[in-house]
Structure formats: structure tokens, C-alpha cells
Structure 1
Amino acid sequence: MRLLIVMVLSNWIFMLRAGNILVYSPSYSTSHLMGNARIADTLAEAGHNVVLFIPEYMPTNFKGTKLAKIIKMAKISESFERHMEMFATDFLSKHTLSMHTRLEWEQASADLCEGITSNAVRFSICLSLEKEMETTV
């Protein structure tokens, strides 16, 4: 009986300690999105408020999470798409693991980070408006 009470109380306390979690999942590939969506769903099942944030490096229609809220940020930078096109073109003809290729990848990633941070104000305004709409409904 004591064990049952302890289990119920600990479960109740655990549920009270649920948090707001942001899962950052850039759209490098569908496999990245699928794995992160599973993580988001697992956290949501545990009682957390989970948002799957997908900065669209490559355009995607992915909706792989059933429980987490999805927020996408599209048209961040064309740098990543250009880099992937060059990588695909050169994949069989050049050494794709060179320092030059790595630096191009780093630059494309930095461009995307810059795009996300420069859109952060617009993004936070959208979130604020969305919250206002939820409270008025």
C-alpha cells in the first residue's frame, strides 16, 4: 500500500515538473527530422509542452510529429541549397571530404544561423500574436 502511495505521489510530482521544451531540428534531411520528431513525441508523451522548431534549410512538407507543436521558418538562406547542389554535382568527380568543402559547409551553416537570428524578431512577433489568438478563442 505504501509503495502504491509513493508511486502515485512521485508520478504526480513528476507531472507537475513538466517543462517547455524546444526541439531544434533543421531540415538537413528527412532522417534528421524523423529522429527529432520521435524525440519530441516521447517528451510530449511524458507530459512536457514540446515545440519542434524546423528552420527550413531545404524545403520540406514533413509533419512527422503527432504530439508536439511544429513551427517552421522558411526562406532563411539559399546558401545551403547552393552548397548541396555543388556537393551533389562534385560528389563522384572530386574529393568531397576536403578542407575546402568543409569550409564551404561551415560558411553555409553560418549563413543559416545569421538568417535565423535576423528573423528572430519577426519570429517572436508571430509567436506573440499566436498566443494572443489562443487566449481570445
Structure 2
Amino acid sequence: MQIRSFQLSDYRSVTELLKESLSEECCEETMGAFARQLSWDSDLILVAEVDDTIAGLLIGTIDHSKGYVYRIAIHPAYRRQGLGKALVASMNNRFRQRKVLKVLIAKDKHNEMLLPFYESLGVTPLDFVRPARPLAIVAG
């Protein structure tokens, strides 16, 4: 497994991963946030690669001195193999390099179902917040 920054050549594989691993609604929201984060800071989009296959994705962002994990997606065939933990650890390293003081989980209905995963990493429900600068704009 290799964790690395997203590259433009990954785009097709990442969109397929998102379609495979997220609900249709979540995928649509994530694609918009993905595009916005690419325009802001592509180094905060990480992929997990296994045998030349994009198996996982983490989209992070920084707002002032706070780092946010916006979305994590792992292909169903690669779940429970440590990819999610490796992505989060790598993103935390990037946040530390940028002097981020606190890491939070962007709160939305799609991330709330991942609470057991985040709790296994030591995240508390208080660490779930809405970023001041939203990555996804939900119509409604």
C-alpha cells in the first residue's frame, strides 16, 4: 500500500472509486467538494494505492488553524485492511507540517455513520463540526 497525493492522472480512477464506495447523493456532494479542494490545495487530497489500483481517498482541507477531514472513501473490496487508518495518519502528518492546531471531522450525515471508525482512532463526537468554509454546497 502506498499513500500519496492525488495526481490528475488519478481522476478517472478516483471518480470510479467514489461511485463504488459512496451513495449517489454522497458521491455528488463529494465530487463538488473534490473539485473545490483541487482548486484550493491539491496536496490535501490523498489516495491509497494497492497494486497500482486506487483503493482509497481522503479529502482534507484547512480553515485558519484547523484541519478538517472532509471525506474518506475506501473501495468495498479493500475495507478493513488499514487503508482508512493509513490515510488519516498521512493527512495528520500533512496537517502537522502546516502547523494545524486542531484536526476535526467535517460533520454531515455521511460522515456520522463513520463514527465507530473515527472513535477507533481516538476521535470524539465533539470533534465533529461544520467547517466555516464549506467544501460541499448542499441544495435544499
Class of the TM-score when normalised by the shorter of the 2 chains: under 0.3
Bigger fraction of residues in strand: 2
Q: Of the two structures, which has the highest relative contact order with CA contacts closer than 8 Å and spacing of 6 or more? A: 2
TM-score by length of 2: 0.25
